[in-house]
Chain A
Amino acid sequence: MPNPTARRPRPLSPNIQIYRPQLTSVLSILNRITGVLLSLLSVWLVVWLVAGAAGPRSYAVVREATTSLIGRIVLFGATFAFFLHLCGGIRHLVWDTGRGFDLRSIYVSGWLVVAASVALTAAAWAVGLSHSAG
């Protein structure tokens, strides 16, 4: 059927505006978003390392910023993003071997990624906070 160019163009049916978020698409886009976030936040990692190398005064400034309330919130988010991206990446590596493509495995591995990320974030922060308290 020819596309009418003399008349008005055909509308495009809605896609992301109406398509249901499912575990498949949500975890996939989260993997991409956490990847971007981690590249941005790695700048802060470099700042921290350079400040450490530069001496106690500059290190104190960076430490002050990181341990402030906003700093801790961002750090918590960054830890979760890190573990989500890590577990998601492992899931991708398993797919690269050709395994885990049936629907049941896709959903089991997907929820495992979410659960593991939450657990690892909690564990990392538990260890980190116990060290700073002691």
Chain B
Amino acid sequence: MSEHATMIITSSDQVPRATLFKRFPVPRNFGVARESRIGLGKAWPAPPGASRIKSFEIYRYDPEAGGNPRLDTFEVDLDDCGPMVLDALLWIKNKVDPTLTLRRSCREGICGSCAMNMDGTNWLACTRFISDMDAPATVYPLANLPVIKDLVADLTHLFAQYELIEPWLHARSPEPERERLQSPEERDKLDGYYECILCFCCTSGCPSHWWNGDRFLGPAVLLQANRWLVESRDEAKEERLDNLEDPFRLYRCHTILNCTRTCPKGLNPGKAIADIKDMMVERQG
């Protein structure tokens, strides 16, 4: 990661070094429903004897306690925990506050469970270095989603939208004796789409999905829609494109491109959506 490449980002794992604004110039609780307003939280100091300390401001919400979400400040002993933000969160859970709730599994950036908003951008906690975070570091759940508890967001609606594009093989031709064959060139077309881990960092970072998420499918789902549209073994291309003939499902994408900027796997949903739009135009003659 080159220090000089701060202005020109060439890969989504580059963290912005300096920005004019860390947030859009709107009030902290701008347009937020009463139950979502974030209040002041507790401060949890570092254990005595810690020399390298970093402060983490973490979003907390307890559905059983009632009350509003709040922002707790934890001081983490960096000499006692691993290098990634997930390590810091688990250190807090083990040593300071066991009620801190988060999703995690593989700890290597392949399962997508620990997707969350860190320092204002969505990424996986297990692949984000603590040394790349601001001081103090801010950790929020994935943006614009109902919060079940602390950093755990409700992904039900997003998976329902995924089901809507029918992400399975549609084949009317009878099952062959062995595999359905595919040439290497046809297989290459799937590169950049099959690797999606459905972490929903992109969809959660899309402003168009913030404002129209009930009907706009969002970059993750549309990337997968493209994955099935370019699948040579699939036989329902026309029907899949018919499914997207709607002012909202596909066409709320205005090429904002936050998705491509934030994908923790380096995929390009923006390009995929542009390819789908191209297919929609082509078939009209």
Enumerate chain A interface residues (CB-CB to B < 8 A). 1, 3, 7-25, 28-29, 92, 95-96, 98, 101-104, 106-108, 111
Number of interface residues of B (CB under 8 A): 63
> Is the pair A21, B23 in contact by a Cβ cutoff of 8 Å?
yes
Inter-subunit contact A11/B146 (CB<8 Å): yes
Q: Are B38 and A14 in contact, with the CB atoms below 8 A?
A: yes
Q: Shortest CB–CB separation between residue B181 and chain A, in angstroms?
A: 29
Chain B residues whose C-beta falls within 8 Å of the C-beta of A15 in the assembled complex: 143-144, 207, 210
How far is it, in angstroms, between the C-alpha of A19 and the C-alpha of B32 when the chains are bound?
A: 14
Q: Which residue of A lies closest to B208 (CB)?
A: A28
Assembled-state Cα–Cα distance A30/B53 (Å):
39
Would you call A13 and B23 a contact (CB within 8 A)? no
Within 8 Å by CB of A12, from B119, B144, B268, B270, lies: B144
Complex Cα gap A106–B147 (Å): 32
| Given A28-B257, A98-B274, CB of A8 within 8 Å of CB of B117 | no
Taking a contact as CB atoms under 8 Å apart, the answer to whether A14 and B143 are in contact is yes
- B236 at interface by CB-CB < 8 Å: no
Distance A24 CA – B219 CA, assembled complex (angstroms)? 15
B63 within 8 A of A: yes
* B117-133 interface with A by 8 A CB criterion: 117, 119-121
A63 to B95 CA separation, bound complex (whole angstroms)? 72
Q: Are A111 and B8 in contact, CB atoms less than 8 angstroms apart?
A: yes
Pull 5 A–B residue pairs with CB atoms less than 8 Å apart, ordered by A.
A10-B148, A21-B21, A21-B23, A22-B121, A98-B274
Instruction: Say yes or no for B176: interface residue by CB 8 A criterion.
Output: no
Q: A22-B19, A98-B271 are in contact. List 7 more A-B contacts (CB 8 A).
A: A12-B36, A14-B36, A19-B117, A19-B205, A20-B120, A92-B255, A103-B260
Whether A98 and B275, one on each chain, are in contact in the complex, defined by CB atoms closer than 8 angstroms, is: yes
**A104 to B11 alpha-carbon distance, docked (Å):** 7
Interface of A is mostly: loop
The answer to whether B255 and A28 touch across the interface, beta carbons within 8 angstroms, is yes
Residue of A nearest to B270 (CB): A101
B261 at the interface (CB under 8 A from A): yes
User: What residues of B have a CB within 8 angstroms of the CB of A9 in the complex?
Assistant: 33, 35, 146
- Known contacts being A18-B23, A28-B254, A101-B270, is A11 close to B33, with CB within 8 Å? yes
A100 to B68, CA, bound (A): 44
CA distance A102 to B12 in the complex (A): 10
Q: Which single member of A3, A29, A98, A104 contacts B9 (CB below 8 Å)?
A: A104
Q: Mark B157-190, 1 if CB is under 8 A from A, else 0.
A: 0000000000000000000000000000000000
A10 and B63 in contact, given A21-B24, A107-B7 (Cβ under 8 angstroms): yes
